[in-house]
Amino acid sequence: MPRNFIFKTIPFLFLIILFNSCDKEFNVIGEDIIGDSSFDIKKEEFQVVAYNQQLAPIQSNNMPVNALGIYDNPSFGTTTANFVTQVSLTSLGTTFADVTKVKSVVLSIPYFVDSSKTVLDTGTGNSTYVLDSIHGPALAKMKLSIYESGYYMSDLDPEEQYTQPQKFYTNQYSEFNAKKGSVLLNNSTINTAENSQFFFDPAEIVTKDANGVVTARSAPAMKLNLNVDFFQSKIMGAPASKLANNDAFKEYFRGLFFNIERNGSDPTNLAMINFAKGTITITYTETVNSVDTDKTFVLNLTGNTVSLLDQSNTNVNYADAINPSNINKVSGDANLYIKGGEGSMSILKLFSTTDNHGLQLTDAPNGVPDELDDMRRNKYLVNEANLVFYLNSDAMGESSVPQRIYLYDFTNSKVLYDYSADGSTAGNSKYDKYVFGGILDKKTATNGGGPFYKVRITNHIRNLIKNVDSTNVDLGLVVTEDINRNSFNVFRDKTIFPYKAPLASVMNPLGAIIFGNNIPFDDKNYKKRLKFEIYYTKAN
């Protein structure tokens, strides 16, 4: 092939590749746009009304992650998180000889760690860890008491004729506490860090043999020695029928009750923990034919669970904001308080309430905002639609800020199409569905608004415009612990609305104060008000 032909061809191919690349990127922004000069991209801000809504005691059983500890949040108040879990057998039908003697009982529950901050000392082999999902001052010491639970957590609900799973709720502390056992299980008198001076220890777990040689290393965990006499009697002395299967065992040994208390005025903190990865390892000795043999029997912390959350010392501003008499459902609130657990959320209504005509200008009012009717009539092509929420950093102060918020269809208690259609994934699953968004952006916005959350509702708005029979539903805004959890938990009081809230919100103990829509024009925070923005095209 002639050399000059190659030189002439390469630039031509480069232009084709460049054109296709630009075209693909353009279509990501607005896939409905036809490449025609008769279309102009426009940005417009539409009205949105957002107001606060207090959340009642809510279902909190069998969550994948649970809180334990006390978090003093200056912006919201104090959250005390206790926990109850059933315990299950790993080996069914085990029997123990009369001469069995328990040597030790060790409870171990791993903590979450920030793997990006783990440092290995290659010289010593020691690793330094940084705990993740800890809120409050580091190494804060509290009183941890673990008891046998006396409350039987049935799989099925007797009030539903045993046809539905049993539900347990955030405000049932008094019920579980009243039935806890009388024996303190984490009763070590040698190490008070296991009970009266407990703290979430970030240290590596190092195991050594009798000669002081390291035999194993593991990441930080709650590692507590439990009452040997109790387990000698409860497990080794159990009737064989109680160890035959887990149904019988869970009725016999009803689980563990984790109770946390503050030590006077000492600082406290709170950790998110996956208790289901916890184990109880019973090391015992059997003497057979005068020969002692050490064996282990393991119990798992699996079965039914419940997170017991108590809210106290409520911040005055927060209490006022979620007081029904102070909520402005017509014009919206200036500040939106969204808090996980038994906390609060916000409800959003899109578009102006003005309704002077129907789909056609000559039609009678139809209960649909005129703004939406106009977009339907003119067949707007939506390139992108966003809700932008600015963090009220002054009001938050030193409080921990949730890294993500979550928007859903409040009217029907279900996810938005933008959520379900987003398959984007990240290295950390907490940041999956990043196109849908809601992730805290700590950079200052272009208008100087400070840190903000942005949620894309492009497909939701497209569907509203395309389908004239679609209902302009209310949207719910909450904090989330795990964006991949999209189920809903019910409130204990079945007579009040709303009836459900997202599970992922119940899991998260944090709260965020964000600016609402109702901020006066002359207010210094006017530019930080909640924004509902749509980029669209229409024929000239």
Three-state SS sequence of 410-478:
CCCCECCHHHHHCCCCCCCHHHCCCCCEEEEECCCCCCCCCCEEEEECHHHHHHHHHCCCCCCCCEEEE
Structure confidence at residue 302 (pLDDT): 97
Buried b / exposed e along 18-52 (16+ C-beta atoms within 10 A): eeeeeeeeeeeebeebeeeeebeeeeeebebbbbb
Q: What angle do CA 12, 15, 19 make, to 5 degrees?
A: 145
Structure confidence at residue 540 (pLDDT): 58
Does residue 498 have a cis bond before it (omega within 30 degrees)? Answer: yes
Q: What is the reported pTM?
A: 0.89
> 503: part of which helix (H) or strand (E)?
helix 503-507
Residues in the chain where the model's pLDDT stays below 70: 1-39, 444-449, 539-540
Tell me which residue range forms the domain holding 127: 77-310
Residues 46 and 104 in one domain: no
Task: Let me know if residue 72 belongs to a domain.
Answer: no
Residues 420 and 451 in one domain: yes
Residues 281 and 324 in one domain: no
Instruction: Indicate the pairing of strand 221-225 with strand 101-110.
Output: antiparallel
Contact 225, 188 (CB under 8 A): yes
Query: Is the torsion defined by CA of 444, 449, 451, 457 positive or negative?
Result: negative
Q: SS3 for 18?
A: helix
Q: What would the pLDDT profile of 11-53 be if each residue is shown by its tens digit?
A: 444 444 433 433 333 333 334 444 444 457 899 999 999 999 9
Q: SS3 for 79?
A: strand
What Cα–Cα distance (Å) separates residue 497 from each residue in 49, 160, 345?
19, 21, 13
Instruction: Indicate the pairing of strand 88-89 with strand 335-339.
Output: unpaired
Structure confidence at residue 252 (pLDDT): 97
Structure confidence at residue 193 (pLDDT): 97
Residues 299 and 325 in one domain: no
**Domain-ending residue, one of 290, 310, 330:** 310
CB atoms within 10 A of CB 112: 16
307 token code pair: 């997170």
Nearest-CA neighbor of 84 among 168, 154, 149?
Answer: 149
Structure confidence at residue 37 (pLDDT): 45
Structure confidence at residue 420 (pLDDT): 96
Task: Let me know if residue 64 belongs to a domain.
Answer: no
**Domain-ending residue, one of 286, 310, 334:** 310
Residues 165 and 246 in one domain: yes
Task: Let me know if residue 11 belongs to a domain.
Answer: no
Residues 330 and 430 in one domain: yes
Residues 203 and 302 in one domain: yes
What distance in Å separates the CA atoms of residue 364 and residue 366, rounded to the nearest whole number?
6
Task: Let me know if residue 423 belongs to a domain.
Answer: yes
Q: What angle do CA 76, 80, 81 make, to 5 degrees?
A: 120
Nearest-CA neighbor of 509 among 54, 135, 59, 174?
Answer: 135
Structure confidence at residue 29 (pLDDT): 36
Q: How many residues does the chain have?
A: 540
